Amino acid sequence: MKQNLTYCILSFALFLAILANSSCKKLDNQNNNSTCAHSTDGMIVKKWSIRDIKTDTYSGSSISKTTHDHPSGYIDFNSNGTYSAASDGITINGKWLFDKNCNLGLTGGGNDGIVFNVVKLTSDSLIISKKVGNLVITQIYGTYSCSCHCYLERKWLNVYTQEDTYSNDGSTITGSTTIYPIGFFEINPDSTYRVWSDNVPLNGKWKASSGYCELMLDSGTNNPRTFEIVKATGDSLVIRRKDGNIAYTQHYVAYKCPTLAQLEQTWDNIDIKVDNVANGAYYNSYMIYPVGTFQVNSNATYNVLSDGVPQNGPYILTDQQHGCQLVLDPGTSIERAFDVTHISSDSLTIFREDLKNGAAYTQRYKKH
């Protein structure tokens, strides 16, 4: 799907749909910005976080309906007259200015754009509005805050990743794809992270920028990646990075530990995918198809029968703080910790890495 962002560019995706057919206008810069009380760089030039989009529907002179939307995102005004904005998977770059009436104009390339009435601009609050037919749409911003450290360090479950391809000037999305990888992203307090995505594991080190606006993976290596933290709450994480002309927006939700009731049954072997590991890289894989069962008992013990070879012992299921892992034979020389990457009423998939022996195992089962 091609989206031309040079027409009547607005800050957020919601406005793109509403104003797609609105007429654009040539924006003329204010000759004397000192006549606009809110046009000083010290006020507008900063990064603002979207707090609310309020839409008032008018019937005559009265408001018949008011709705509120709370997208995650920001708009960042630069002192050189450019801005960037991002929200819910869409990123926009363009120019900003104050017109001769002290209104705020935003473009998305070229000189045509859209003009907003500045309702309020203080050191910590920005409110702009636009009338479209019988609608008055108001965007409410506050000072951008990136204190995400209290939310990052946990296990996150993949939801989807949006890949947007941009034109060379960054003003047009020429293609957009959404993928739904299966797996997780675990950010640990010891500055390590683990990824398991569509059977591809990855390990490394992470750190965050001052104030936790950015998340950096594997800095100082041959494959460093820096992500902007778009959203981080107790139950949701959205991060974005740009590589060349492609922007990747990755959406996660908080990983929920499986329950003992889900695990405590007899599972039949389906297959095991074995990946060979060397220096953190997976260089080949093969499949094995053992015949047998994996039984998880309510008395905190397990029984395995695999190709006629039995194995028995205790197990524990760790909590969210410890990664929600199924640990067999805890505290012994043969302790194995598995991530429960999928569980339903009739199927189970568990995964573990054995870096000491250079292997990773993805084990699939079905209900007995």
For the chain, domains (ranges, CATH) are 3-143 (2.40.128.280), 149-254 (2.40.128.280), 260-367 (2.40.128.280)
pLDDT at 17: 35
pLDDT at 112: 62
Residues ≥6 apart with Cβ < 8 Å to 171: 5, 6, 93, 94, 108, 109
What does the block give as tokens for 69? 């939307």
Cα–Cα dist 217/198, whole Å:
19
Over the chain (368 residues), the average pLDDT of each successive run of 10 is: 34 40 52 55 78 88 85 81 74 79 74 80 88 90 73 87 79 82 87 83 81 80 84 85 86 90 95 83 86 96 95 92 89 94 91 86 94
Cα–Cα dist 236/230, whole Å:
10
Cα–Cα dist 146/141, whole Å:
14
In order of 113, 267, 306, 312, 360, the CA distances from 309 in angstroms are: 71, 16, 5, 10, 21
Residues ≥6 apart with Cβ < 8 Å to 299: none
pLDDT at 178: 93
pLDDT at 101: 78
State CA 117 to chain mean position distance.
32
Cα–Cα dist 109/101, whole Å:
22
pLDDT at 132: 86
What does the block give as tokens for 299? 């008395």
Report yes or no: 119 and 56 within 8 Å, Cβ to Cβ: no
